[in-house]
Structure 1
């Protein structure tokens, strides 16, 4: 009986998530009356605004990933090596973006860095882009930090550091050529999650008035019928592609470790 209930719950969960997606996909293919077609997808993909906003979000995602790696990997490594007692506090700080809404964060940014402040970042395009990148990095911090920290748990950080130092390696060399290659799978997992977050984020980009993919989805949804459904399917596919890449990276990492 318990097995029947378990399978029933699993089936209900699958239907709960799958049926809306199937309905949305079917609607996105119904732009041509009486038959299914990819007209909505062609319209969306040919839209210059889609190309511009998607390219902008991809660039912002890559910059955010680079900044996140440079911030998180040394921090997690140093906490694990030298400051183990500070680990609960660091974990608490990295969890705050899950508790504090993005709209609160972005309003704080606007208040602190407006044109009348000491650092008027919102007064220029480059400054606003930099501010948005910091905001994206904040939103992705819980996932990036936990991915890297999980990777560091699987290796002997102290022994690797001592061995590298005995060969004359400096801290930058240790991080770049010893620690990072050993946690690369975890870093890539955090990077794919960051990419998915940046591509779909709306609040920060809209309030900072940046031409990102999330605000474009909202504007298109307010003015069109079939194209927003096609755009949602595309965004959903990008997110699941990132999840699939995480699974492939983790499987490849386990396979490589088993060979060793």
Structure 2
């Protein structure tokens, strides 16, 4: 048993080292902009750049738009499937898994063919409409995670009883969904939202092919022209992603604690 425990610890240490050592090396390299001294000058240089501020602001706004659109799309669909159409559950789950199977570059090329300036619904004629198209693309990328998070939240509650209770009190379908169902699956919605936020912050393919400036494209652009600043941005992206994962864990723990009560 001791030999097994020692081997297990060795494997864990090697796995952690494989992940941590490159990250520490990247962080150490990002501090060497001023030769002979460690400093956060690379971070300061990046943060004061107007292009970075615009790109980061665009990513934040796109993330918020993606979360809102995903909630509007997924919550009613998952609720209806759960309550009225249980036989559709497998087909719907299959459809929501497609973004994991179909490469992002194929999806965005399909968008460009369908919504270009000569199509029936042009969404690439202006910057605003193109950003809206990008947000729709991010909704598709986040769909597998958002749907499963919401569906897990619906499984944890008695949807039928809550719906019938609301109907007996004269509540409309919209009221039942927004004031009864949604508050009870708040943790599931938040879990999907954090994952969607992390996806939008790190995504590159959609924005690059649509020729829009977001955090991912700015990271690629500065990486082609600078040495230390890309390392600083990589650390920033890592911290944002892991902050989302940490919040996801906190939400998951709070949900488990409520279920245990």
Q: Answer whether TM exceeds 0.5 for this pair.
A: yes
1:200 equivalenced with 2:174 (yes/no): no
User: Quick one: which of 167, 184, 187 aligns to 1:185?
Assistant: 187
Alpha-carbon offset, residue 124 of structure 1: 1.6
Q: Tell me the alpha carbon deviations over residues 190-241 of structure 1, each in whole angstroms, 9 at most, x when there is no partner.
A: 0010001001100000110111111000000000000000000000000000
Which ranges in structure 2 are unaligned for 5 or more consecutive residues? none
Partner of 2:224: 222
1:146 equivalenced with 2:148 (yes/no): yes
Three-state SS of the structure 1 residue aligned to 2:36 is: coil
Question: What is the aligned length?
Answer: 259
Alpha-carbon offset, residue 126 of structure 1: 2.1
Tell me how far apart the structure 2 counterparts of residues 46 and 97 of structure 1 sit (CA, whole Å). 36
Partner of 2:137: 135
1:211 equivalenced with 2:213 (yes/no): yes
Tell me how far apart the structure 2 counterparts of residues 45 and 169 of structure 1 sit (CA, whole Å). 50
Q: CA RMSD in A?
A: 1.0
Three-state SS of the structure 2 residue aligned to 1:121 is: coil
Q: Tell me the alpha carbon deviations over residues 104-153 of structure 1, each in whole angstroms, 9 at most, x when there is no partner.
A: 00000001111111111111222211111110000000000000001111
Tell me how far apart the structure 2 counterparts of residues 76 and 129 of structure 1 sit (CA, whole Å). 27
Deviates more, 1:167-176 or 1:125-134: 125-134
Tell me how far apart the structure 1 counterparts of residues 35 and 194 of structure 2 sit (CA, whole Å). 38
Tell me how far apart the structure 1 counterparts of residues 55 and 109 of structure 2 sit (CA, whole Å). 22
Tell me how far apart the structure 1 counterparts of residues 97 and 259 of structure 2 sit (CA, whole Å). 30
Q: Map 1:164-179 to 2 at 5 A.
A: 164-179=166-181
Alpha-carbon offset, residue 258 of structure 1: 4.2
Which ranges in structure 1 are unaligned for 5 or more consecutive residues? none
Tell me how far apart the structure 2 counterparts of residues 27 and 65 of structure 1 sit (CA, whole Å). 34
Q: Scaled by the length of structure 1, what TM-score is found?
A: 0.97
Q: Tell me the alpha carbon deviations over residues 165-185 of structure 1, each in whole angstroms, 9 at most, x when there is no partner.
A: 111111100110111001001
Partner of 1:51: 53
Q: Scaled by the length of structure 2, what TM-score is found?
A: 0.97
Deviates more, 1:201-210 or 1:246-255: 246-255
Tell me how far apart the structure 1 counterparts of residues 128 and 231 of structure 2 sit (CA, whole Å). 32
